Structure formats: C-alpha cells, structure tokens
Structure 1
Amino acid sequence: MKTQLFKNWKFLLSIMIIILFFSCEKSDDLINNDVTGTYIGTLTTDLSLSNNRSSETTKAQPIPATVVVSEVGNQIQVYCFAEDFETTIILDTYDHYENVKVCLTGEAFENMYGHMLGQGHMNGNMQHNGTGWMEHLSDEHQEDDEHFGSFDMQHHSFNYLFRMDDRDFYFEGIKK
C-alpha cells in the first residue's frame, strides 16, 4: 500500500515539474506590446517649402516635441505637438517581432495607396506563416509602397515621418 502511494505521489510530482518547466519557457512574444503613452523626443523638418520632395533638402535643427499615443477602438491616435507644430493622425498597428509597425488607415490610406484598406489583395490570400505586419504587406501593398514609422518595443521608442502639404516632419522619441 505504501509503495503504491509513493508511486502515485512520485507521478504527481513529475507531472507538476513538467508543467512548471513548460509554463516558464521563454516566449518569443513581445514582453509588452502596449504602445500607448507619452513619447518625449525631437521633431526635425526639411526646409523645402514646396511639394517637391527632392533628395536635396536642408534639415533644420531638431526641436523638442511630444507624442501622445492613445487607443481608439482597434487603432491608435497619435497626437504630436511642438513649437509651431501640431497634428493628429489615426493609424493601424501590426506586430513585427520586437517592433510594432504602423500604417495609415481610412481616407489617408486610400489617398496614399490608391485603394481602400481591405481591397488591396495585392499578392493573393494572406500568408499564415508570418507576422501581422508581413501579412498586412502581402495583402494590402505593393513592394515599393512607403511606410512612415514604428515602435521599437525593446527600446520603448517611436519614430514617425509626418507627411504634410508643404514639408515633412520627422519625430523620434522615447516613452516616458
């Protein structure tokens, strides 16, 4: 009887150790993919005052800037402000390894890429072996489509190129 009880106890202990081992296994998932919050950084602009976005632009000195990221449904709202600059945009987010990539949405997406989100299907059906970002690129974009920013989750940073009518503004910042 004691031998049977000992075997049962040993079996239960073995099962518990196995469960503990697998539950503590390192995950490749992002530690914290919450991009909401305040990012403190700099805003840099080119000094070209025309719609011509040539590579021959003169960069101005970076100025202090702040970005506040908040959730709006399944999307994020990015509010950026600095001296003589203020804008708000809505973006979709996509996990991509240690990063969270962003893409325009709604009318801004349609104006930039020439079709509505969900109607691109550029490369056929979605792949099921990549990241959310890779699936988005495959389903909605052509190879030369531009994207303007991302969150680096390991370094708690955000960068984004705001494309305005008269010039571009580039933000780089760290989460506060």
Structure 2
Amino acid sequence: MTPPVTRTWSRRGTTPIVRVRGRSRRRLSVAALVCYKPGQRSRLIYRPCPDARPDGRKSFAWTDYRDLIQAAHHQLGGPIVLVWDNLNTHVTGGMRRYIAERDWLTVYQLPTYAPQLNPVEGIWSVLRRTTQANRAFTDPHDLITAIRQGLRRLQYRHDILDGCLIGTRLVPTPP
C-alpha cells in the first residue's frame, strides 16, 4: 500500500509532496508469465492474489502456480517451456510431481539470485515506474484495481514485453 517514489515535475524550488495516511501492512501478490513463441506476439498472463484469503495464506501456494500454468497451457494451446526462479513454492514436492506428470511441460530453474534473467522482473519494474509511481492508494481495493489496470495495459504493449524478454538474452533478438 505504500507508494514507490519516482521523479516528477514541479515549479523550481517547490518539492512535490504526496501524503500517505498511515501505513498498511496489506499487500497484493501477483504471479505472471511472459510468454514467447517465435513468429507470434509476446503475451503476458497473470493472476493477482490479495492477502485476505479464506485459508489465511498471504502468498501463492503451489496449487495457485499450478492453476496459472494450467491456464497458460489452455490459452497458448501447446507445450510450455517454463523458466523460473528458485522460489521455495516453485520447488515443493507437489509442484515437482505436477511437472513430472505433464509431458507438455518442461521446466528450467534459473540460478539463485539472477533477477536479470527473469523477464517478469522487468514487468514489475515497469509497473512500479508507471502505474504505482507517486500514487497513494486509499484502500486495498484501489491497489488491486490499479495493478490490474496496469497489467492489462501491459498485455497490449508487445514492445515492452519483447524488451523485457530480450533484456534477459534468453530469446533471440528480432532482425
């Protein structure tokens, strides 16, 4: 809920001030996949997860990631090569069993502490600098709405998605 601070314009000698009333420990977890297929446009598939869940969990469980991968497989209509980081939820026993049971799913783990190889980190950076920058959210619903709108806008910005993918050097640079 605390807004990230970025650059802004104002009159010379006048510092712009964004007042934030109270600090909230509320948060929003978002899982995303940046998808690449030669000859087609890049795609962004995401799922938000607010911290107010019925089971009391404040982040994604391996079953949430499983559902996201299943939805991506359904939307993309083909086999998936998944490259992701070493988040503890990604390497649980349930997730490993799920991956082993799917012949259409191949998974490569990124090295530890390698955010420069993860294109989704670029998406989060763009989101912080655009949608969230210098904005004080009034309540958790306002935060969720803003993040969804920002991600929805990014879904149609294939140039930004391509830039995040090319920046990792995991996909070939277009001619």
User: Shorter-chain TM-score: what band?
Assistant: under 0.3
With the length of structure 1 as denominator, give the TM-score of the two structures: 0.27
Higher relative contact order (CA 8 A, sep 6+): 2
Q: Which has the higher strand share?
A: 1
